[in-house]
Amino acid sequence: MKRIAIVAGASSGMGMEFVKQIKEEFKNLDEIWVIARRTERLEKLADELSTETCEIVCLSIDLTDARQRERFARALHEEKPYIKVLVNAAGYGKVGSFSEMSRKDLTGMAELNCVALTDMTHMCLKYMKKGSVIFQFASAAAFLPQPRFAVYAATKSYVLSLSRALNRECKKKGILVTTICPGPVNTEFFEIAEKTGTIKSYKKLVMVEAQRVVAKAISDAKYGKTISVYGFTMKAGRLLAKLVPHELLIRFFG
Ligand SMILES: NC(=O)c1ccc[n+]([C@@H]2O[C@H](COP(=O)([O-])OP(=O)(O)OC[C@H]3O[C@@H](n4cnc5c(N)ncnc54)[C@H](OP(=O)(O)O)[C@@H]3O)[C@@H](O)[C@H]2O)c1
């Protein structure tokens, strides 16, 4: 039985960074399956990182397409691997007022960030056992509703809620679910987010590098932490959202 890791959203940003760090941190993996739509990016990553003992296997899949996810389910069924690590990093957010944004943009976020993540997690879970880890990308946006980023923040609240509950369900099996809640990170995320509007400038002032967020998440998982928040600013934000009435915070930050 092959020991594998699976990274969804591996063609850029934090997903790609995860592939690099998993290779170093999780020894004895036979393969890392990398998933995204941009095949050439995945193949470049495979060329760079594949070794004789650990192959990077490229799967070009649009995760919002249920039929393409079915292809992934079949690949799992045929291989019957032991999944040591699953990273659900495929996701995007688009900024803008709810009423002015297109239905496609709004529902697309929910389809990728929520539906696809749920399906991926469910498909992979039956190939996991004691010692397996699931990394779910939520966001600091999960802590507080965000006007003009409303659907994105709501999708991330969904991921955080789902993953915390799932972690509890998985405890008996010895499987850990670590949910990552970053603030602004320097990736292609912002290019996509700003196609429909402008992100508040204070967010860009607290931007951090993907490498650090991923390293912190892997380290947090080693300590069995269920939520990983990188940096003082986002930790303070999380605390604020626990202590101060949300209506006040939304008025101030919204
Ligand atoms: N950057 C931030 O500030 C930030 C902060 C908090 C949370 N997050 C979350 O962190 C996660 C990673 O984001 P990132 O910053 O690394 O963004 P990114 O650089 O834009 O990467 C997003 C990844 O998702 C993949 N993806 C997008 N649509 C897909 C689809 N339909 N099917 C399959 N793959 C798809 C992209 O690949 P293809 O385009 O090749 O398909 C890419 O590999 C996301 O869930 C994001 O919401 C980001």
Q: Express each pLDDT in 100-153 by its tens digit.
A: 999 999 999 999 999 999 999 999 999 999 999 999 999 999 999 999 999 999
Distance, CA of 101 to CA of 97 (rounded, Å): 6
Amino acid at 94: K
Residues within a 6 A CB radius of ligand 1: 9-15, 36-38, 41, 61-64, 89-93, 112, 137, 139, 182, 184-185, 187-189, 192
| Topology adopted by domain 3-253 | Rossmann fold (3.40.50)
Q: Which residue has the tokens 């915390």?
A: 164
Q: Which long-range contacts (CB under 8 A, 24 or more apart) does 109-116 make?
A: 109/151, 109/152, 109/155, 110/151, 110/155, 111/64, 112/63, 112/64, 113/152, 113/155, 113/156, 113/158, 113/159, 114/155, 114/158, 114/159, 115/64, 116/8, 116/63, 116/64, 116/69, 116/90
Q: How remote is the CA of residue 91 from the centroid of ligand 1, in Å?
A: 4
Helix, strand, coil percentages (3-state) for the chain, rounded to 5, are 50, 15, 35
Q: Which residue has the tokens 């960030």?
A: 113
pTM: 0.97
- Tell me which residue has its CA closest to atom 45 in ligand 1: 91
- Tell me which residue has its CA closest to atom 2 in ligand 1: 185
Distance, CA of 222 to CA of 104 (rounded, Å): 39
Q: pLDDT tens digits for 89-101?
A: 999 999 999 999 9
- Tell me which residue has its CA closest to atom 7 in ligand 1: 139
Distance, CA of 136 to CA of 39 (rounded, Å): 23
pLDDT confidence tier of residue 188, bands split at 50, 70 and 90: very high
Torsion angle of the four alpha carbons 107, 112, 118, 123, in this order, in degrees rounded to the nearest 10: 130
pLDDT confidence tier of residue 194, bands split at 50, 70 and 90: confident
Q: Find, among 175, 174, 1, the residue nearest to 81 by Cα.
A: 1
pLDDT confidence tier of residue 204, bands split at 50, 70 and 90: confident
Segment 11-18 mean pLDDT? 98
pLDDT confidence tier of residue 10, bands split at 50, 70 and 90: very high
Q: pLDDT tens digits for 244-254?
A: 999 999 998 87
Give how far the C-alpha of residue 11 lies from the chain's centroid of Cα atoms, to the nearest Å. 13
The per-residue pLDDT for 77 is 98
Q: Is 42 a residue whose pLDDT tops 80?
A: yes
* DSSP H/E element including 59: strand 55-60
The per-residue pLDDT for 187 is 97
**Which of 11, 199, 209, 238 to mutate to test ligand 1, by most ligand atoms within 8 A of the CB atom?**
11
